Amino acid sequence: MELYRCEKCQTTYDEIELEDLNNSCGCGYTFQQDKWTQETPARLKSLSIEARVTSEYLEVDWSDGEGYYYMTSIFSEDMEFTNIWRHKTREDAMNCHRKVVNALYFGKFTVHDYEITVSELP
């Protein structure tokens, strides 16, 4: 069973415990509602398309207990993006987020059919 982790105090709960608590952690954090997310519009100048870079706190560790609770990804109406970056801290997520926005702006990616892959981040 997946464990949900409070971003504020790091307490973990299983689904049934969370339901009993009405999604509220004792520290004041409300699951789903208080989830940290950051979204930045990004323009791919060379292709004239718009995308958005999204970073978020997942609340659930989808990395099999390795502790990667944060994720950065890219969305666009026009293209598919292949990259997903996982992070253990919000700070790492914010750093990566900024680098991805820059990489898109400065054309540091490769295009294959409708798929875009960001090359190595600075």
Of 59 and 104, CB closest to Zn ion: 59
List % helix, strand, coil for the chain (3-state, nearest 5): 20, 35, 45
Q: Is 36 in the site for Zn ion (CB under 5 A)?
A: no
> How many Å is the maximal CA-CA distance in the chain?
51
Helical H segments across the chain, by residue range: 15-20, 90-105
Q: Is 9 in the site for Zn ion (CB under 5 A)?
A: yes
Q: Exactly one of 18, 25, 74, 104 binds Zn ion (CB under 5 A); which one?
A: 25
21 binds Zn ion (CB under 5 A): no
Q: Is 100 in the site for Zn ion (CB under 5 A)?
A: no
Residue 57 Cβ vs Zn ion, minimum distance, rounded to whole Å? 12
Beta carbon of residue 13, minimum distance to Zn ion (angstroms, whole number): 9
User: Closest Cα partner for 55 from 94, 108, 7?
Assistant: 94
Contact region with Zn ion (CB under 5 A), list: 13-21, 27-35, 81-89, 91-99: 27-35
Taking alpha carbons only, the member of 90, 99, 102, 85 closest to residue 43 is 102
Which residue's CB is nearer to Zn ion, number 25 or number 71? 25
- CA dist 79 and 76 (Å) reads 6
Residues lying near Zn ion in the complex (CB under 5 A) are found at 6, 8-9, 11, 25, 27, 29
